[in-house]
Amino acid sequence: MASSTPASDTPRVPLARPSAPAAAVAGARRRRLPPTGKVGLALVALILLAALVGPSLTADPDAQNLARALEGPSRAHWLGTDQLGRDLLARIVLGARVSLLIGIGATLFGLLVGGSLGVLAGYLGRWIEALTMRAMEGLLVFPGILVALMVVAVAGPGVATVVLAVGLRAVPVFARVAQTSTRSLCQREFVVAARALGASGARILARHVAPSLLNTLLVVASLQVATAILVGATLSFLGVGVPPDLPEWGAMLNAGRRYMLRQSWLVIYPGLAIMLTILGINLLGDGLRLALDPRHGRGAVLA
Amino acid sequence: MRYALRRLLQLVPTLLVIGAVVFVMLRLMPGDPAQVLAGQDAAPETVHELRRRLGLDQPLPVQFVRYLGSLARADLGESIRTRQPVLEEIAARLPATVLLSATAIGAAFALGLVLGGIAAVCAGRWPDVALLVLALLGVSAPTFWVGLLLVVVFAVGLGLLPVAGGDSWSHLVLPVATLVPQSLAVFARLSRSTLLDVLGEDYIRTAVAKGLGLRRVLGRHALRNALIPPVTFAGLEFGRMLGGVIAVETIFAWPGAGKALVDAIAGRDFPMIQGLVLAFALLFALVNLLVDLVNGLIDPRVRYP
């Protein structure tokens, strides 16, 4: 589960901003993205664009032409063809869709499940908190890739399994961040005041705690997407992830491995796509951290 | 010593959790656990015998206790594929994986400390910026891709190093070189930031003010205090690197336990999956125990929380 930064595994994340979300929305104190963050934003925008409209601009990624299999880069096929004569560029562009689906889907799963568990644990406290956090620590006893491999072993390969496998790995990460932030938020004046005014628990969580948590969780989530894409690609590269026919970058590297000594482009370009995606997400995530939390002057980009 | 003993006792709940999670995993497998463990085409008598031995006719809590008992006796059953005892299969493969991971983490740790130190001393100047860029690239390049590129370069282009097998020391070079960049990037960034923090402390200013040379300030005063976070991280890094290690074992045909786990999952060899998951989780717990003990040696404050 090659992680993006140490922070994504050991949540050393700044606690939620003390000010209410209104300040962040008003933009009065909003910081601009640092230059590295803008490079990241550009890279991420490029990948998103490729995933959304790319497939309609390229050749048919599934069109086989065995007569032209394993051809090097040419004017007809900019990045060459694979072992079935399919256009590599078209498959890499479509692969952005698969990889982002896995990365974002798994992160959303981790964010929703882990985040809600963490918020409830931090808000309710007592034995519920102890029990939930013990369970989360229980998951952290296992290396992330081992959790993912166990899910795959139980549920068999497939896209949904990969999303679940990679997402389950992220659940304790989000739960820990949400729990510590919620605990400190619950002692702040505006939450105490809301409670004194007679607001219900649900209202306090929805109107006061959750919005203040959002910045923190968003920063963690952005970096987690990179980790999720990497773990998903690792599973597929190992042949236990998505079905081998699917144009997923890790699966393409696995298929290209057999031909790499003569047709090295088959393993160079899909890997380059993974690297640029992860680089972009990391730069953007670190930039967001700097922009959203002015107190953390030295973010992971510089540290 | 007392600290070591206390830390060793904390291993007990961890082992219970590992046992519980793997127990749940076995129960979640589709179908009858005895059938699953014995293999699809096992004889009915074998399945029946296994069901009785695992106590699958008993209530769940009893089953769990008996399961823990079988684990304590290191009774992991036989591989469905090879018909060899799982314990022997693991014992034959795990050392190669440990050798590979330990060498890679050791190299990344040492190099990361040196590079991070250089960057901290030159903070803001070109060596620092260069390291920053390299670390960003290193952390973003997937380990298995680095491995494939190294094979392409060294097998096709240069033909200098062996790209498959695990018989000699030279076979270790490329797998380790594959694993190092990503870890190195993390260790270097971590060492840099902790060293910078430590160098800002008052006692460092005192040491400089009383006229100690740079080497003595770094070696005697800064390093010891800056070592704890990287050492702690080395334990976590072992778990994080596991995905890369499994991929590297696959790419370079390294005869380790990671490749065996992937093969077992692909072949639905459940006794092997169970045994290898237990082995890796246990190894991870032991590595982190070792890390805590080392931290206790570096900094006595760790021993008295």
Closest-CA residue of chain B to A257 = B148
Compute the Cα dihedral for A282, A285, A288, A292 and give only its sign. negative
Q: Which of A50, A151, A68 is nearest to A110 (CA)?
A: A151
How would residue A107 be classed by pLDDT, with cut points 50, 70 and 90?
very high
Q: Could you tell me which residues are beta bridge partners of residue A81? A: A87
Which residues from chain B sit within 8 angstroms of residue A145, using beta carbons? 239, 242-243, 246
Rounded Cα gap, residues A237 and B258, in angstroms: 14
Q: Phi and psi (nearest 5°) for A122?
A: -70, -35
B156, B250, B280 ranked by CB distance to A238: nearest: B250
Once rounded to an integer, what is the mean pLDDT over residues A8-12?
Answer: 42
Cβ-defined contact of B193 to A2 (cutoff 8 Å)? no
Residue A43 has pLDDT above 70, yes or no: yes
ipTM (interface predicted TM) = 0.82
B262-269: long-range pairs with CB below 8 Å, 24+: B262/A149, B262/A238, B262/A239, B262/A240, B264/B79, B264/B81, B265/A149, B265/A152, B265/A153, B265/A240, B266/A239, B266/A240, B267/B80, B267/B81, B268/A153, B268/B80, B269/B79, B269/B80, B269/B81
Cβ-defined contact of B136 to A264 (cutoff 8 Å)? no
Which residues from chain B sit within 8 angstroms of residue A1, using beta carbons? 240, 242-243
The DSSP letter of residue A200 is -
Q: Could you tell me which residues are beta bridge partners of residue B85? A: B78
Cβ-defined contact of A239 to B193 (cutoff 8 Å)? no
Rounded Cα gap, residues A199 and A216, in angstroms: 24
pLDDT of residue A300: 39
pLDDT of residue A85: 64
Which residues from chain A sit within 8 angstroms of residue B149, using beta carbons? 267-268, 271
As a CATH number, domain B86-196+227-298 is 1.10.3720.10
At a CB cut-off of 8 Å and minimum separation 6, what does B210 contact? none
Judge whether A4 and B142 are in contact, CB under 8 Å.
no
**Which residue type, as a one-letter code, is found at position A254?**
N
Give, in order, the Cα–Cα distances in Å from B237 to each of A5, A270, B109: 11, 26, 10
Q: Which of B32, B87, B106 is nearest to B260 (CA)?
A: B87
CB hemisphere CA count around B174 (13 angstroms): 31
pLDDT of residue A123: 81
Once rounded to an integer, what is the mean pLDDT over residues A51-67?
Answer: 72
Cβ-defined contact of B148 to A257 (cutoff 8 Å)? yes
Which residues from chain A sit within 8 angstroms of residue B273, using beta carbons? 153
pLDDT of residue B101: 92
Which residues from chain B sit within 8 angstroms of residue A40, using beta carbons? none
Which residues from chain B sit within 8 angstroms of residue A282, using beta carbons? 136, 139-140
Cβ-defined contact of A253 to B148 (cutoff 8 Å)? yes
Which residues from chain A sit within 8 angstroms of residue B261, using beta carbons? 149
Pick from A69-73, A226-230, B23-27: least confident = A69-73
Cβ-defined contact of B149 to A275 (cutoff 8 Å)? no
Rounded Cα gap, residues A160 and B229, in angstroms: 37
pLDDT of residue A293: 65
At a CB cut-off of 8 Å and minimum separation 6, what does B78 contact? B84, B85, B86, B271
Q: Å from A136 to nearest chain B CA? A: 11
| DSSP per residue, chain B | -HHHHHHHHTHHHHHHHHHHHHHHHHHHSSS-HHHHHH-TT--HHHHHHHHHHHTTTS-HHHHHHHHHHHHHTT---B-TTT-SBHHHHHHHHHHHHHHHHHHHHHHHHHHHHHHHHHHHHTTTSHHHHHHHHHHHHHHHS-HHHHHHHHHIIIIIII--S--S--SSTHHHHHHHHHHHHHHHHHHHHHHHHHHHHHHTSHHHHHHHHTT--HHHIIIIIIHHHHSHHHHHHHHHHHHHHHHHHHHHHHHTT--SHHHHHHHHHHTT-HHHHHHHHHHHHHHHHHHHHHHHHHHHHH-GGGG--
Q: Is A183 exposed, middle or buried (0-12, 13-18, 19+ CB in 10 A)?
A: middle
Q: Å from B37 to nearest chain A CA? A: 13
Q: Which residues of chain B have pLDDT under 50?
A: none
CB hemisphere CA count around B209 (13 angstroms): 6
Q: Which of B167, B192, B253 is nearest to A302 (CA)?
A: B192
Closest-CA residue of chain B to A145 = B243
At a CB cut-off of 8 Å and minimum separation 6, what does A140 contact? A172
Q: How many residues does chain B have?
A: 305
Residue A119 has pLDDT above 70, yes or no: yes
Closest-CA residue of chain B to A169 = B240
Summarize pLDDT for A172-213 with one digit per residue, the tens.
989 888 888 888 787 777 878 877 787 777 777 777 777 778
Q: Which two tokens stand for residue A212?
A: 């203040």
| DSSP per residue, B233-250 | HHHHHHHHHHHHHHHHHH
Q: Could you tell me which residues are beta bridge partners of residue B78? A: B85
Residue A7 has pLDDT above 70, yes or no: no
SS3 call for A28: coil
Judge whether B34 and B47 are in contact, CB under 8 Å.
yes
Which residues from chain B sit within 8 angstroms of residue A149, using beta carbons? 261-262, 265, 277
Cβ-defined contact of A6 to B144 (cutoff 8 Å)? no
Q: Which of A216, A210, A136 is nearest to A168 (CA)?
A: A136
Residue of A145, A263, A274, A281 for testing the chain B interface, max B β-carbons within 10 Å: A145
pLDDT of residue B108: 92
Cβ-defined contact of B277 to A301 (cutoff 8 Å)? no
Rounded Cα gap, residues A10 and B291, in angstroms: 16
Rounded Cα gap, residues A173 and A150, in angstroms: 18
| DSSP per residue, A141-162 | TS-HHHHHHHHHHHH-SSHHHH
CB hemisphere CA count around A72 (13 angstroms): 4
Q: Å from A202 to nearest chain B CA? A: 32
Summarize pLDDT for A246-289 with one digit per residue, the tens.
888 888 888 888 877 777 777 888 889 999 999 999 888 888 88
Residue A136 has pLDDT above 80, yes or no: yes
pLDDT of residue A209: 77
Which residues from chain A sit within 8 angstroms of residue B163, using beta carbons? none
Judge whether B187 and B108 are in contact, CB under 8 Å.
yes
Q: How many residues does chain A have?
A: 303
Summarize pLDDT for B202-241 with one digit per residue, the tens.
777 787 778 777 777 777 777 777 788 888 888 888 888 8
Q: Which two tokens stand for residue A113?
A: 């499940």
Residue with tokens 């990344």: B108
B139, B189, B281 ranked by CB distance to A303: nearest: B189
Rounded Cα gap, residues A119 and A133, in angstroms: 11
Q: Is A14 exposed, middle or buried (0-12, 13-18, 19+ CB in 10 A)?
A: middle
Residue of A36, A142, A261 for testing the chain B interface, max B β-carbons within 10 Å: A142
pLDDT of residue A110: 92
Residue A12 has pLDDT above 60, yes or no: no
The DSSP letter of residue A205 is I
SS3 call for A241: coil
Judge whether B179 and B244 are in contact, CB under 8 Å.
yes
Rounded Cα gap, residues B184 and B181, in angstroms: 5
Closest-CA residue of chain B to A226 = B140
Other Cβ atoms closer than 10 A to B202: 7
Q: Å from A22 to nearest chain B CA? A: 33
Which residues from chain B sit within 8 angstroms of residue A227, using beta carbons? none
